[in-house]
Amino acid sequence: MRDIETIFPADDQIPADARLAGPIEQREYLVNGELRRWDGAMQEVLSPVCVETATGPVQRVLGRVPLLGEKEALDALDAAVAAYDHGRGRWPTMAVADRIAHVEEFARRMVGTRDEVVRLLMWEIGKARADAGREFDRTVEYIRDTVDAVKELDRAGSRFSIQQGIIGQIRRAPLGVALCMGPFNYPLNETFTTLIPALVMGNTAVFKPPRLGVLLHRPLLEAFRDAFPPGVVNTVYGRGRETMTPLMASGKVDVLAFIGTSRAADALKKAHPRPHRLRSVLGLEAKNPAIVLPDADLELAVAECALGALSFNGQRCTALKMLFVHADVVDEFLARLSAVVSGLPAGMPWDEGVALTPLPEPGKPAELAELVADAVRLGGRVVNPSGGESHGTYVSPAVVYPTHPDSRLYREEQFGPVIPVASFTDLAEPIRWVVESNYGQQLSIFGRDPETIARLVDPLVNQVCRLNLNSQCQRGPDTFPFTGRKDSAEGTLSVSDALRVFTIRTLVAAKSSELNKRIITDIVRERRSTFLSTDFVF
């Protein structure tokens, strides 16, 4: 592992293809189809990337973004409310084919921003160039898959059913105004995997970029403005308490799509005056465990656990955050894991093949150090050389063993490059941990014996929402359901599930009388309605 004192570049060592032109002063925000200029308070944007100076590493200043207030946030919401117009607006009543055309136009424009967005992902959140490119491409692909899923849904809704003498046409209709907020670790992908389905199904939206990862949305503002009718997409920047709480308190938000902490989600939901009117789709914390059985292929288990625990420095909700390894193999497992972790290339996001990069959250190195110190106080030790050492915003990954049940690391989500390991002799121990955990997203099992694995599958599928065999935890493929139990999620996301969570089934029904048949036939034949129609999109 490289000497972390040398990890940050001097200014002249930053390659030309990674450089930013200069600090970005973003004053625009999108409301009602226009880019408004903000002349009020601004927030400085610091990069996790430091530049080495004579006095040590200094975080690069990337620019400034608006700190809007309550009034501006409410103006953005009112624009979305007006565009929805109680479901009578142009957007919610538009034919599906036309809404799809707007979304496709947006995707076309978005593709042109790839280089700029990828570069900002590197600088703003420290994501390695390859991962940043993947996040961008996966998001564009998600939009295309969403369009296909909408067409499929539309085809299914373009027919009449006749049951017990009642004719009915059932479609999914929008809910109203969606408030979409993504997390800093996937600021683009996880904002758009709620925003785009919400929009294409006829909702209007306000979206707020995460606290970290704001500037990278700037290149997309024009694309939103030009691809969608006014008021359909609006943006808010600023502190959550000053901007989001008033929006929720107004009672005008119909769907809250939020990826972040359960504490923040609960506070937002509580601010809504009529919670029964609010639909929520939430992606929250997780502490996904791996269970390594004595017969596991250790080379595979170690490779998947290292990947699962340290991709994007462990800052994934799906990351493996607690490893339970059978006592018979724990020594060999730790030796192998320590070697693999030591071999991971650390550096700057633009370095070829880099695996470990600096962390964007303020105060994170100190927070992780406290978690490790607490585990060490309770008998744990850092197994890998240099594990847990830090320099500026960079923290070397630490493998901690044994992790005492009373330590914070045993239960709390670390969301960073720390890998707690505990050994077990009886499978009841990790199962009890899963049952007692506040989280219930996913888990991984490593082993070879079908009988033992089957004995774990049946009790554990009712504790989490995805069980991965000999594989790390992950969200993809995006057509698979992504959700969790307990404090980990509310609602399910996937390409097709997202279309459901932002809609409600609505139908037109009529007793099958001659009069009703004549009316329906006339409406359909003369194309008098977009809902009551047998047209469908190819």
Q: Is 134 exposed, middle or buried (0-12, 13-18, 19+ CB in 10 A)?
A: middle
- 414 belongs to the binding site for ligand G3H (CB under 6 A): no
At its nearest, how many Å lie between ligand G3H and the CB of residue 490?
15
Name the one range near ligand G3H by CB under 6 A: 90-98, 205-213, 237-245, 468-476.
468-476
Question: Site for ligand G3H (CB under 6 A): which residue of 47, 185, 407, 494?
Answer: 185
Q: Which residue, 79 or 320, is less far from ligand G3H as judged by CB? A: 320
State which amino acid sits at residue 72. E
Q: Which residue, 28 or 413, is less far from ligand G3H as judged by CB? A: 413
Q: What are phi and psi of 359, to 5 degrees?
A: -100, 135
The DSSP call for residue 464 is S
- 257 belongs to the binding site for ligand G3H (CB under 6 A): no
At its nearest, how many Å lie between ligand G3H and the CB of residue 290?
14
At residue 283, the 3 state secondary structure works out as strand
CA pair distance 414, 314, nearest whole angstrom: 8
- 47 belongs to the binding site for ligand G3H (CB under 6 A): no
- 476 belongs to the binding site for ligand G3H (CB under 6 A): yes
At its nearest, how many Å lie between ligand G3H and the CB of residue 235?
22
CA pair distance 240, 267, nearest whole angstrom: 10
Q: Within 10 Å of residue 357's Cβ, how many Cβ atoms?
A: 29
- 121 belongs to the binding site for ligand G3H (CB under 6 A): no
Phi-psi region of 33 (alpha: psi -120 to 50; beta: other; left: phi over 0): left
Question: Between residue 264 and residue 323, which ones bind ligand G3H under the rule CB under 6 A?
Answer: 316-318
Tokens of 276: 């029964």
Q: How many residues bind ligand G3H (CB under 6 A)?
A: 9
Q: Which residue, 185 or 407, is less far from ligand G3H as judged by CB? A: 185
Name the one range near ligand G3H by CB under 6 A: 274-282, 298-306, 471-479, 521-529.
471-479
Q: Which residue, 59 or 318, is less far from ligand G3H as judged by CB? A: 318
- 172 belongs to the binding site for ligand G3H (CB under 6 A): no
Tokens of 216: 């990278």
State which amino acid sits at residue 516. N
CA pair distance 347, 308, nearest whole angstrom: 19
Q: Which residue, 318 or 357, is less far from ligand G3H as judged by CB? A: 318
Q: Which residue, 140 or 431, is less far from ligand G3H as judged by CB? A: 140
Name the one range near ligand G3H by CB under 6 A: 100-108, 364-372, 377-385, 470-478.
470-478
- 415 belongs to the binding site for ligand G3H (CB under 6 A): no
Q: Which residue, 8 or 184, is less far from ligand G3H as judged by CB? A: 184
Give the torsion through C-alpha atoms of 198, 204, 210, 213, to 10 deg: 90
Between β-strands 485-486 and 161-163, what pairing exists: parallel, antiparallel or unpaired?
unpaired
Q: Which residues contact 24 (CB under 8 A, 6 or more apart)?
A: 45, 62, 63, 64, 215, 218
At its nearest, how many Å lie between ligand G3H and the CB of residue 479?
13
* Sheet architecture: strand order including 24-25: 24-25, 56-66, 42-53
Name the one range near ligand G3H by CB under 6 A: 31-39, 265-273, 336-344, 474-482.
474-482
- 466 belongs to the binding site for ligand G3H (CB under 6 A): no
Q: Which residue, 186 or 228, is less far from ligand G3H as judged by CB? A: 186
CA pair distance 202, 84, nearest whole angstrom: 8
CA pair distance 78, 63, nearest whole angstrom: 29
Q: Is 18 exposed, middle or buried (0-12, 13-18, 19+ CB in 10 A)?
A: middle
Evaluate whether 238 touches 65 at the Cβ level (below 8 Å).
no
At its nearest, how many Å lie between ligand G3H and the CB of residue 317?
3
CA pair distance 240, 183, nearest whole angstrom: 13
Q: Which residue, 26 or 474, is less far from ligand G3H as judged by CB? A: 474
- 474 belongs to the binding site for ligand G3H (CB under 6 A): yes
Q: Which residue, 62 or 493, is less far from ligand G3H as judged by CB? A: 493
Name the one range near ligand G3H by CB under 6 A: 48-56, 62-70, 72-80, 469-477.
469-477
Between β-strands 390-391 and 442-446, what pairing exists: parallel, antiparallel or unpaired?
unpaired
Closest CA to 396 of 357, 435, 350, 443: 357
Q: Which residue, 288 or 423, is less far from ligand G3H as judged by CB? A: 288
Spell out, one character per residue from 188 to 217, where the chain touches ligand G3H: x when CB under 6 A holds, - when not.
--x---------------------------
At its nearest, how many Å lie between ligand G3H and the CB of residue 260?
10
Footprint of ligand G3H (CB under 6 A): 185-186, 190, 316-318, 474-476
